[in-house]
Amino acid sequence: MAQQTAQQHSPGTTGEKSSEGTNWWLRMLVWREKHLPEKTFVAMLALVIGTAAGLAAVLLKTLIALIAGFLTSRFSTEQGNLLYLVFPAIGILLASLYVYYIAREPISHGVTRVLYALALKKSRLKIHNMYSSLIASSLTIGFGGSVGAEGPIVFTGAAIGSNLGQAFRLPPQTLAMLVACGAAAGIAGIFKAPIAGLLFTIEVLMLDLTAGAAIPLITASVAGATVAYVFTGYNVEFFFSQSEPFYASRIPFVVLLGIFCGFVSLYFITLIDRIEGRFKRLRNRWVRFAVGGLTLSLLIYLMPPLYGEGFDGISRLINGDVTGIFNNSLFYAYRDNVVAVLLFLFALGAFKVFATAATNGGGGVGGTFAPSLFVGCMAGVFFAYLFNNLGIIDPDMPLSIKNFALMGMAGVMAGVMHAPLMAIFLAAEMTGGYELFLPLLIVSASSYAICRIFTPYGIYSRRLAKRGELLTHQKDRSVLTLLKMDSVIEKDFSIVHPDMSLKDMVDIIAQSHRNLFPVTDDNGLLLGVVQLDDIRNIMFRPDLYRRIQVSRFMSMPPAKVVVGTPMEKVMKTFDDSGAWNLPVIDEDGKYVGFVSKSKIFNSYRQVLKHYTYD
């Protein structure tokens, strides 16, 4: 027994090893805090995060290419392929099984989940988020799911940044910066577009680019893109050669394309939202899979360019090969017919939205970056091809299919994401089409302006905005989003009842340090309030103590606030009522407490300091 006790306390036991390991890590954290300034350390972490996110992006693209190549390498070019009816559904099934049985939580809509983590989870993401999206999205897209790899890689990069920051016990404002670094590096790595990665954090994640934030974000973006260049070569995502110059006389057509792309973007956002909403109403996940898988497979069988991200179709169109989009399809024989080309381009753009929504709704995992680029490319080519064949364009100087394909990509992405700057630089960096910078700017600005008229939110922020959980560049609104009513309700008010006498009221006032008193009935329902100033003239008259009851001098509050009301709406209620304190009630009208402007202002200052990275 003595020997057993001695062994239990010997230095070689598992418990002590674990303790020693923990102590070593804590000592290292203390050493880091003493010897490495936080800004320097964050810049170092940004380099590590950028490199890791870049490697993840390369891995994801490689897995997708390997799976898709293995499955479709023997497909016939000149006719339809029946396996298109099988592979996409298998991919959705495998991804949904992985999510349900292994990840055990939803991981689709990665960018929206990153926005949610920044807003309401103190930028904390789980460890499995560093790899779950890679596995599920590679299965989804490789087997033909009509979504993009960008949402998953953003989620993966953000999770890498979050978990590394958590390991070093960094505060929330620094953690948010590292999440943004991972997301930026993911975009930079997947598209080889470091500037677009940086702009993504500003326009989509809505992170304020302060002087302190610029260095780690740039470091992470450049590291992510560099890793992609090292492993896949110093070439752009889509080869683009501007064989037709852009003439100033084409600017009116560019403006028209921008307006057209704005309405296409609105169609994209609205339809995705509605179709995915319909899928959510299907409670049984097997029914969702059946509907999504059948819809996706049928669409891809009829229109093979919808398979996967659709980058092969984009590559053909931005290099002027319009008839190439008929490859592997039932309509291959009609590739030289003008009307057939227009109808096929229109159908590809219109039904890509259905295919994307069916993929995610049926249980697949993927993003909407690539689908928006695909739809934009189809819109640009359709626009140019239509005008070239209407007889109103000089046949010796037709609109450039290649140029308008690229401009359409930027236009629809600008509208869908509500990110015009990112769309411009992403289109230019992905293709090397910097010569078209002016028309890209015009199309993106026009599309964004049109789309913004009808909806103030992009596709990623739309879901959170509906629930009042969205952070924006407007600091006041963002901080109020982070504030929750439960944290500002004050409950140390003395409750009085309407049948109490003035004497009872005076006794309660003598023991209270407040000058406001809620009046409730026996069931706790709020009936009114008593303010000390309203009874000051009678509270020192003993002759009235037994003659007057609380019901005589109580008053109704200028407004009431229901528990759970968003803080932005609470502040509007304060402004409309002119009150300094407002009673809080539950949904049944029962008294809960009070909220005051002073309490909210104090909490506002604390949250603002807590979440701002300088």
Same domain, 178 and 258: no
Same domain, 26 and 48: no
Separation between Cα atoms, residue 290 and residue 283, nearest integer Å: 13
3-state secondary structure of 501: strand
Same domain, 289 and 199: no
**Residue ending a domain, choose from 434, 453, 479:** 479
Count the domains in the chain.
Answer: 4
Report, as an integer, the average pLDDT of 402-414: 93
Same domain, 291 and 345: yes
Beta bridge partners of 590: 525
For the segment 456-491, what is each residue's pLDDT rounded down to a tens digit? Answer: 888 887 776 666 555 544 444 555 555 566 678 888
Best mean pLDDT range from 233-247, 416-430, 539-553: 416-430
In Å, how far from its chain's centre is CA 460? 4
Separation between Cα atoms, residue 379 and residue 381, nearest integer Å: 6
**Residue ending a domain, choose from 426, 450, 479:** 479
**Residue ending a domain, choose from 169, 202, 232:** 232
Separation between Cα atoms, residue 397 and residue 529, nearest integer Å: 78
Please return the burial class of 9, using the count of CB atoms within 10 Å of its CB with bins 0-12, 13-18 and 19+: exposed
Separation between Cα atoms, residue 307 and residue 142, nearest integer Å: 9
Nearest Cα to Cα of residue 490 among 604, 610, 591 = 591
Residue 13 structural domain: 1-32
For residue 611, the model assigns a pLDDT of: 53
Same domain, 253 and 176: no
Q: Quick check: pTM over 0.85?
A: no
Q: Are 409 and 314 in contact (CB under 8 A)?
A: yes
Place of tokens 């504030």: 483
**Residue 292 neighbours by CB under 8 Å, 6+ apart:** 92, 279, 358, 359, 360, 361, 362, 363, 364
User: Per-residue confidence at 605, pLDDT binned at 50, 70, 90?
Assistant: low
Q: How far is the first Cα of the chain from the last one, in angstroms, to the nearest whole number?
A: 59
Q: How many CA atoms lie within 13 A of 449 on its CB side?
A: 11
Q: Are 296 and 92 in contact (CB under 8 A)?
A: yes
**How big is the chain, counted in residues?**
614
Best mean pLDDT range from 56-65, 121-130, 504-513, 556-565: 56-65
Q: Are 222 and 188 in contact (CB under 8 A)?
A: yes
Amino acid sitting at position 113: R
Same domain, 56 and 149: yes
Separation between Cα atoms, residue 168 and residue 29, nearest integer Å: 7
Same domain, 254 and 402: yes
For residue 481, the model assigns a pLDDT of: 55
Same domain, 257 and 406: yes
To the nearest whole number, what is the mean pLDDT of the chain? 85
Check which CATH number belongs to the domain holding 147 and give it.
1.10.3080.10
In a domain, 574, yes or no: yes
DSSP state of 101: I
For the segment 376-385, what is each residue's pLDDT rounded down to a tens digit? Answer: 999 999 999 9
Same domain, 601 and 562: yes
Same domain, 184 and 54: yes
For residue 6, the model assigns a pLDDT of: 41
- Residue-wise over 83-111: b if at least 16 C-beta within 10 A, else e? bbbbbbbbbbbbbbebbeeebeeebbbbb
Report, as an integer, the average pLDDT of 507-534: 88
Separation between Cα atoms, residue 251 and residue 272, nearest integer Å: 31
Best mean pLDDT range from 20-29, 289-298, 453-462, 555-564: 289-298
Separation between Cα atoms, residue 262 and residue 264, nearest integer Å: 5
Q: Is the pLDDT of residue 5 over 90?
A: no
Q: Is the pLDDT of residue 580 over 90?
A: no
Place of tokens 């993401």: 125
Report, as an integer, the average pLDDT of 248-276: 93
In Å, how far are 32, 185, 289 from 46, measured between CA atoms?
A: 16, 9, 39
For the segment 320-378, what is each residue's pLDDT rounded down to a tens digit? Answer: 888 888 888 888 888 889 999 999 999 999 999 999 999 999 999 998 889 999 999 99
- Percentage of the chain beyond pLDDT 70 is 88
Separation between Cα atoms, residue 5 and residue 560, nearest integer Å: 65
Q: Is the pLDDT of residue 155 over 90?
A: yes
- Residue-wise over 526-548: b if at least 16 C-beta within 10 A, else e? bbbbbeeeebeebbeeeeebeeb
For residue 7, the model assigns a pLDDT of: 43
Separation between Cα atoms, residue 326 and residue 303, nearest integer Å: 8
Report, as an integer, the average pLDDT of 125-144: 93
In a domain, 239, yes or no: no
Secondary structure (H, E, C), 432-481: CCHHHHHHHHHHHHHHHHHHHHHCCCCCCHHHHHHCCCCCCCCHHHHHHH
Q: Is the pLDDT of residue 550 over 70?
A: yes
For the segment 498-511, what is each residue's pLDDT rounded down to a tens digit? Answer: 999 988 888 888 88
Residue 311 φ/ψ, nearest 5 degrees: -70, -25
In a domain, 238, yes or no: no
For residue 77, the model assigns a pLDDT of: 75
For the segment 45-70, what is each residue's pLDDT rounded down to a tens digit? Answer: 999 999 999 999 999 999 999 999 99
Nearest Cα to Cα of residue 342 among 374, 376, 386 = 386
Q: Is the pLDDT of residue 436 over 90?
A: no
Nearest Cα to Cα of residue 157 among 202, 114, 193 = 114
DSSP string, 503-556: HHHHHHHHH-S-SEEEEE-TT-BEEEEEEHHHHTTTTT-GGGTTT-BHHHH-B-
Same domain, 488 and 550: yes
In Å, how far from its chain's centre is CA 525? 41
DSSP state of 425: H
Place of tokens 């952070």: 471
Same domain, 205 and 145: yes
In a domain, 241, yes or no: no
In a domain, 140, yes or no: yes
In a domain, 540, yes or no: yes
For residue 473, the model assigns a pLDDT of: 46
Separation between Cα atoms, residue 401 and residue 384, nearest integer Å: 6
For the segment 190-211, what is each residue's pLDDT rounded down to a tens digit? Answer: 998 899 999 888 888 866 666 6
Separation between Cα atoms, residue 207 and residue 213, nearest integer Å: 9
In a domain, 287, yes or no: yes
In a domain, 181, yes or no: yes
